[in-house]
Structure 1
């Protein structure tokens, strides 16, 4: 096991990454959803809608939404009747999600502070596990995938929505320029925090390419894995089954 992990373009100890990622999300929690709209021109809403359609949440299912923070994915799944547990390592993100649920009159969600690498839930407890734009911030991705496998029932499904690297010529270069130069400026203007958004962009660049991450999902024990690229792979939906 390596002694260091990536924090954006830096190599740091696992303990330092966990601490620094926590500071990032505590800093951006209040403006997180506003910034998502600004950075993606609102497209993140369409990506999340598409993601939930792939998950196919059903009435009575128990679903764990990991790194669920502000509740965007959980609200969509609860609307289908699923019993959703929203988990995040960062209490500030959870607090924002709880406030948003109260404002929307959404009851019945379970909010639980959890470390994706060491969940406190029993084995074979959930029908589905979802994580949207969160896995790249986990310190040890392999441990998080192993935990996802552990807490799923047999026949359970894993779905991950995450940024990747677009394979469209021209668009890749344009997006790289936009993300590195403009996103930190947006972060400064809207959230008062350029450095946190510089890290978030760097973390996308350091995340494994689609085939490599799919191999990690299979290595965790999942079968029938699938990758669905969006915008040439700028964003991708990864899935697998516990069978």
Structure 2
């Protein structure tokens, strides 16, 4: 059984439909990428999965439960977390305080041990644990956002454009850490502008175009598909 099932959802804002009859799934332990052109509905799909939007038709099933009508905090309680593209850290709080905010459902006595685990993932955050997040580089803030999301030991992590605005060197660092996070247990659903890099790392991928499913397959199948390469990978 899939950990996440998106079943023929239609969703949007106001009178505008962004997604139309979109389906996808993520199995336990997988990395799954969603790629497509700007305006394809990728971020809208992530927000609908996480409960920030509710589907007009279809449903979202997480770990065997229909979560389509649940608010985000209820979905977090069930083991899903979300790292948005922007506004993903508390800029006035320190690294340590940001991680504590991410652990809002954890027992107080567990928080320090959880932080130490995050520092093992991101040694740079241990070095800067007392620094305000707003004074950090874009790559470091992305580490803080990812670390905060991992504080609750999620089953599934949603990541929206984790490489946006980062230097090529930092993109490589972030993607290596995403792989390490996945190796430790949680499945990852990622929307990413760097489609080739994301698909190379992914077990499977989906291509959205104009709010609809266009292609799906393993990461390697999509990378090798000449039409996908021509239309979406710059090949």
Q: Name the one with the larger helix percent.
A: 1
Tell me the TM-score normalised to structure 2 length.
0.31
